[in-house]
Amino acid sequence: MSDQQFKNFRFGDIKFPDRITVNKIKSDYSLPTIAVPGASAGAANVTATITGSDVCGKIAVTFGNDTFASTDIYAVVTFNHAYEKVPYVFTQPYYTYTTDLGAVFVDSTTTGFTVRFPQSTLGNADMFNFTYFVIESK
């Protein structure tokens, strides 16, 4: 198979008996969108940015000087292409300013995921950064 043929090859419904080994996983999808829900009183002074794709990327959330409920949604990520089944979203902190939030809670749907943090009091301009990886299971 030539390089060009391989680039155009799609796995589709091909089934592999046990596992597949690859050198890299690359997503060609464009950047998903991220929004901060303005309706939540706690999230009124939150900003969020995203880099990456529907499969993986980095999110930075900056907080104002407010008190938050642990149930407040700080950011909503919307995929460019919906998954067929609700995917798993894995997160990992990669750098924080001022406050160590310790955890990121996500609730996923086929079209995206929401972001919450367990801590309720955050200082002015605290920033929490994390990576995410999304995978759909059968």
Residue 82 sits in a domain whose CATH number is 2.60.40
The amino acid at residue 112 is G
Whole-prediction pTM: 0.74
Residue 63 lies in a domain: yes
pLDDT category at 123 given cuts 50, 70, 90 is low
Q: What are phi and psi of 3, to 5 degrees?
A: -60, -40
Tell me what pLDDT residue 82 has. 92
Which residue would you say has higher pLDDT here, 51 or 12? Answer: 51
Residue 20 lies in a domain: no
Residue 47 lies in a domain: yes
Tell me what pLDDT residue 43 has. 53
Tell me what pLDDT residue 39 has. 46
Range of the domain at 123: 29-135
State how many domains the chain has: 1
DSSP symbol at 127: E
Tell me what pLDDT residue 5 has. 47
* pLDDT tens string 8-50: 555 555 556 666 666 667 776 778 999 887 545 555 677 889 9
Task: Please give the full DSSP string across 48-105, using - where no structure is assigned.
Answer: EEEEE-SSEEEEEEE--S-B--TT---EEEE-SS--SSPPEEEEEEEEEES------E
pLDDT category at 97 given cuts 50, 70, 90 is low
* CA-wise closest residue to 42 among 111, 102, 116, 114: 116
Residue 106 lies in a domain: yes
Two tokens, residue 72: 């407040």
Average pLDDT for the chain: 75
Distance CA 137, CA 105 (A): 20
Opening angle at CA 90, ends 85 and 94, nearest 5:
150
Does 124 score more than 90 pLDDT?
no
Tell me what pLDDT residue 79 has. 94
Residue 2 lies in a domain: no
Residue 91 lies in a domain: yes
